[in-house]
Chains A and B, each alone.
Chain A
Amino acid sequence: MTEASVATGAYPDVSFETGPLINRRIILAYFLMAVVFFTASMLGGLLMAMQLAGWNPLDGLQAFSQGRWRMIHTNAIAYGFIANVFLGALHWAIPRLTMNKVLSVKLSWFIFGAWQFVVLATAVGILIGEAQGIEWGETPVWIDPLAQVGLLLVAINFGAPILKMKGPLYVTLWYFLAAFVWTFLTYAMGNFMPEYLVAGSSGGAIAGLFIHDLVGLFVTPLGWGLMYYFVPIMLKKPIWSHGLSLVGFWGLAFFYPLNGIHHFLYTPIPMFLQYGAVIATIAVELVVTTVVINFFGTIWGSGGILKRHLPLRWFYVGMVFYFITCAQCALQVTMTFQKFIHFTDWVVGHAHLVMFGVFGFWLFGIMTYLFPRLLGREWASRKLCEAHFWLSAGGMFVMFLDLTFAGLFQGWSWNGLQPWLESVRLSQPFWQVRLFTGLFIIAGFVCFAVNLVKTWSLARGSAPESEASPVPA
């Protein structure tokens, strides 16, 4: 085993042969676009962080308006990065799990093109000031119908190979199947109902459902589905407990959709519904604990592998962060905590830990694992792989602590009726630290990007036949 090959956990007995089921090019295309949109998202985040720290040289320029770039930051992550890596990874996992190809490779390419158009049009729409007033759904109203059709085609293209299977399904496929239904319904509910049908508080209840379902019914099930697929393969061990897998899936399916209103506690939405959302949220945290226990039960006894196996390290550190955010969520969702921490940076820290610390980590782990298999050669530099991980993990964890504390100070300042600007002034040290933690994350990503360019050019140089090989249908 060479030093380089352990970087991705490629064991000597695992060849890079991807077999006729997999279309490598489409996975590479999705991953590349994910890298492009991650870059755009980081620029938006950097702009916002500089603005808050009072060091934004572009302040006052319309094209760099940080109000608009803030929306690009979140939308590029959700639809440009996370969705693209998911779609790429699904093209890997579903054919291998079901032993069936996706319904149609042509359809796959059409979806690929349509989805990039949706994300680009969203970015352009936001930049020209046409955003829709729905958090995480700022996609302009004229793009929503196309995105909706795209999601339907995704469900058909990936649903077909799963539905062709006989007998009970593996855990991963439970999550995938449900996620295809949920994502389609969630997008339709959130982007159309509060815009056209329901005003005011009941529209707010739906917007809350949308914010939450997007994380809980699109990102979470696809993320856990991929963990249930990749972790046992990498560890060469079955999942610890099938019973806990069942509890985890059905608990999530039942309780997660009931959480939405917890984003708008103390609003004019009926109070008993707010209490219901709080209780359902605490129930979700119990379910989450069973899933995390299941995965730690799986790695129990072979934890030493995390020292050298980078994808697994991304996954398990992500799971630790997942447990932290969920434990935090069970506290912050209570009315007592809400009084102080709602509207503050505490929530921003929570959101970053979920979207980057958990799902971002899992997806970078998956890309670290798959790029060598797609390109037919190991990563050019293990050091850069390590730097990517450590800069991301360090930056993320410090950012989380920093924003959590900032939130507490802001909440106390507001509650104490200090003049508003006092809460802005006391946030400054926290916002400055946050800017630097963000720069660490960006530096980690630069390491990844440089490593990818090097690896790709080496792969082109050494194995031109892999480029020319016929694309398996």
Chain B
Amino acid sequence: MFESKSGILLLAGLGFFILAFVSNAIVPILMYKDLEEQTVEQLVDPKVNKNVVAELRDLERRYPETFQKYIGEASPARAAELLEKGRDVYVGEGCWHCHSQFIRPVSNESKRWGPVAASEEYENELQRPVLFGTRRVGPDLSREGGRRGSDWHVAHFWDPALTSPGTVMPAYKWFLEENSQGQPVPNEKGFAIVLYLQWLGSWLPYPTYPYYEQTEEVLGKAGY
């Protein structure tokens, strides 16, 4: 059996693969089957999470010219479309290769970023495929929403070192265009990615949204 074609094809090839698939993939699927997968429309519903539409209104106030051109109105329906587009930009630009989206219960991560990742946070359309990430050149982003104003993100995409001296993040000038005064302001991609970032963690209740690092004590000791 161990050197025969049928043993290799059926036991090693199919059998062991299926065993691993059942134990490592089907088991978690069954365990989480009662967590309903949320649609994007449900995620941005102001009755559930008022922060997303609020951030979209904020973008409208800051960048009225291009907002009129690309977005129109700051409605939940537009917010849902923009979140999906923002997720596509996040995936297509490879943001997830340098930024993770889960907080571990170790290495002081909950002090730096906030509550440890919970299963239900990931049961939604925007996490298909899930964007946990495997590398952090930049910080985790799953609690990024509300930490910084959207103008910070716009400046950051224009020239990351403006807001973060010493960063190695590339510039993303194609998220922006010049308005009539010659200032760089978001285009459609820019609105989408900024709203996506502002969405991350915005489902958490006060006081963990927005979350700020609790590092003062440690930094004081280190002499910063």
Residue A261 lies at the interface, judged by CB distance under 8 Å to chain B: yes
A 228-261 binary contact with B (CB < 8 Å = 1; else 0)? 0000000000000000001001100110011011
* Chain B residues with CB under 8 A of A207: 129-130, 132
Q: Which of A129, A168, A200, A431 contacts B3 (CB 8 A)?
A: A168
Residue A199 lies at the interface, judged by CB distance under 8 Å to chain B: yes
* Chain B residues with CB under 8 A of A365: none
Interface residues in A, total, Cβ within 8 A: 91
A415 touches B107 (CB 8 A): yes
A260 touches B168 (CB 8 A): no
Residue B48 lies at the interface, judged by CB distance under 8 Å to chain A: no
* Chain A residues with CB under 8 A of B135: 343-344, 347-348
Residue A24 lies at the interface, judged by CB distance under 8 Å to chain B: no
Q: Which of B19, B35, B137, B215 contacts A417 (CB 8 A)?
A: B215
Pick the interface stretch among A15-23, A64-72, A306-314, A376-384.
A64-72
B 156-186 binary contact with A (CB < 8 Å = 1; else 0)? 0000000011111011111000000000000
A272's closest neighbor in chain B, by CB? B27
Interface residues of A in 36-91 (CB under 8 A from B): 51-54, 56, 59-60, 62, 65-68, 70-71
A 299-322 binary contact with B (CB < 8 Å = 1; else 0)? 000000000000000000000000
Q: Which of B4, B100, B137 contacts A424 (CB 8 A)?
A: B137
Residue B123 lies at the interface, judged by CB distance under 8 Å to chain A: yes
* Chain B residues with CB under 8 A of A388: none
Q: Which of B3, B16, B130, B166 contacts A254 (CB 8 A)?
A: B16
**A interface, over-half SS:** helix
Q: Which of B20, B107, B128, B215 contacts A203 (CB 8 A)?
A: B128
Q: Roughly how many angstroms separate A344 CA and B100 CA in the complex, as a whole number?
A: 11
A54 touches B168 (CB 8 A): yes
* Chain A residues with CB under 8 A of B98: 67
Interface residues of A in 152-203 (CB under 8 A from B): 162-163, 168-169, 174, 177-178, 180-182, 185-186, 189, 193-196, 198-203
Q: Which of B20, B123, B125 contacts A258 (CB 8 A)?
A: B20
A266 touches B96 (CB 8 A): no
A414 touches B107 (CB 8 A): yes
Pick the interface stretch among B50-58, B65-73, B111-119.
B111-119
Residue A418 lies at the interface, judged by CB distance under 8 Å to chain B: yes
A134 touches B8 (CB 8 A): no
Q: Which of B12, B20, B25, B96 contacts A250 (CB 8 A)?
A: B12
Interface residues in B, total, Cβ within 8 A: 81
Q: Roughly how many angstroms separate A276 CA and B28 CA in the complex, as a whole number?
A: 13
Interface residues of B in 166-223 (CB under 8 A from A): 166-168, 170-174, 213, 215, 218-219, 222
* Chain B residues with CB under 8 A of A162: 5
A417 touches B112 (CB 8 A): yes
Q: How far is the CB of B20 from chain A (nearest CB, A)?
A: 3
> Contacts A51-B170, A201-B130, A343-B135 given: A132-B91 contact, CB under 8 Å?
yes
* Chain B residues with CB under 8 A of A189: 21, 25
> Contacts A207-B130, A347-B135 given: A201-B94 contact, CB under 8 Å?
no
* Chain A residues with CB under 8 A of B92: 68, 129-131
Residue A411 lies at the interface, judged by CB distance under 8 Å to chain B: yes
Q: Which of A199, A204, A270, A338 contacts B124 (CB 8 A)?
A: A199
Residue A458 lies at the interface, judged by CB distance under 8 Å to chain B: no
* Chain A residues with CB under 8 A of B123: 199-201
Q: Which 7 A-B pairs have the closest CB atoms?
A: A257-B20, A181-B13, A67-B94, A200-B122, A129-B92, A60-B171, A253-B12
| Given pairs A133-B96, A181-B17, A195-B129, 18 additional interface contacts (CB within 8 A) | A67-B98, A169-B8, A177-B5, A177-B13, A182-B17, A198-B128, A207-B129, A258-B24, A264-B134, A266-B105, A276-B23, A339-B107, A417-B111, A417-B112, A417-B213, A417-B219, A424-B166, A424-B167
What are 20 A-B pairs with beta-carbon distances under 8 A? A56-B170, A65-B170, A68-B92, A130-B92, A133-B129, A178-B8, A198-B128, A202-B31, A202-B32, A209-B24, A253-B12, A253-B13, A264-B132, A268-B117, A268-B119, A269-B28, A273-B23, A347-B135, A414-B136, A415-B107
